[in-house]
Amino acid sequence: MVRVLADIFTFDNTRYLFSGLFNTLLIAVMTVLVSIVFGTVLALCRNYHKGILGKIASVYTEVFRNTPLLLWILVCVFLVHFGRSMTRGALALILYTSSVIAEIIRGGLNSIHFGQFEAARSQGFNFFQTLVYIVLPQCFRRVIPSLLSQVITTVKDTSFLAQFAIAEFFYNSKNLMSSLPQKITLTTTHIFVIFGFIALMYFIINFSLSCLVRRLASPSQKLHIHDISGD
C-alpha cells in the first residue's frame, strides 16, 4: 500500500489533483453567489410582480428546475461561443441552480406574514424599503439551512463537468488515472486508492457543510417549537 501511495501521490500528481479541487470549489462558489442573487430576483418577480416579469420568472424557474442539469451543460458547452469551457460549464450550473434557489427563497418569502407589509407601510416604508430592511433579512434567516443544502448539491454537481473535459476535480482524477500506466503498472489497488481519494475529498467538504447546516438548523427548530408553544 505504501508503494501504491508513493506511485500516485507524487508532488506533480498531488498538485494536479488539488488544482482540480481548487477549480471545483471556485466553480461551486461562483455558481452559488451568482445564483443567490439571480434566484432572489426571480423569487421576488414571481411573488410580487403579477405582470410580464412574474410570468417570465415562473416560466424560467419551472423550465430549468424540471429539466436535467446535464442537458444545460451540453447546451452551454457546445452552443455558447464565449469564454473558456470552465466558464461555460459554470454558466450551465448557474442557470440551473438559480431556478432551485429561486424556489427556496420563494418559500421563505411565503412564510412571512403579509401583515408585515402593512405594518411597514404604517411606519412610512415604501415597498422596496420593506423588502430590503424587513422581509428579505427574515427570509434569508429562515432559508439558510436549505440554501446550504443546495450548496452541498452544487459541489457534487460540478462532477458532471468532467464529462466535457473541464478541468475540475473529478476530471483531473480520471485523467491522472489514465496517464499513470505510462509511468507505472496500474493495478486494481491504484484505481481503488484514486477513487477513494475522490470520495474522501468530496466527503470532507460536504460533511463539513452538512455539520454547518445542522448547526444552523437547530436554533431555527428550537425557535419554531418555542413559537408554537407560545411560552
Would the pLDDT of 129 be above 60?
yes
How confident is the model at residue 228, as a pLDDT? Answer: 36
Could you tell me the three cell numbers for 160? 458532471
The residue assigned the cell 463537468 is: 161
The residue assigned the cell 412574474 is: 54
Would the pLDDT of 230 be above 70?
no
Domain map (residue ranges) of the chain: 2-229
Could you tell me the three cell numbers for 119? 405594518
* Closest listed residue to residue 105, CA positions, set 59, 157, 45, 64: 45
How confident is the model at residue 3, as a pLDDT? Answer: 81
Q: Which residues of 124-158 are buried (b: 16+ CB within 10 A; e: fewer)?
A: ebeeeebbeebbbeebeebbbbbbbbbbbebbebb
Which range scores top for mean pLDDT: 15-19, 49-53, 125-129? 15-19
How confident is the model at residue 48, as a pLDDT? Answer: 87
Could you tell me the three cell numbers for 109? 418569502
Dihedral (C-alpha) 103, 109, 114, 116: value to the nearest 10 degrees?
A: -170
User: Which CATH code, of 3.60.15.10, 3.20.20.80, 3.40.30.10, 1.10.3720.10, is assigned to 2-229?
Assistant: 1.10.3720.10
**Confidence category of residue 105, pLDDT binned at 50, 70, 90:** very high
Instruction: Output the CA–CA distances (angstroms, integers) from residue 206 to 41, 106, 201, in the order listed.
Output: 27, 25, 9
Span 111-116, average pLDDT: 84
Span 142-171, average pLDDT: 90
pLDDT digits (tens, 9 = 90+) for 193-217: 989 999 999 999 999 988 887 777 6
How confident is the model at residue 27, as a pLDDT? Answer: 94
Instruction: Output the CA–CA distances (angstroms, integers) from residue 119 to 49, 122, 125, 127, in the order listed.
Output: 20, 5, 9, 11
Would the pLDDT of 62 be above 90?
yes
Would the pLDDT of 165 be above 70?
yes
Q: Rounded mean pLDDT of the chain?
A: 87
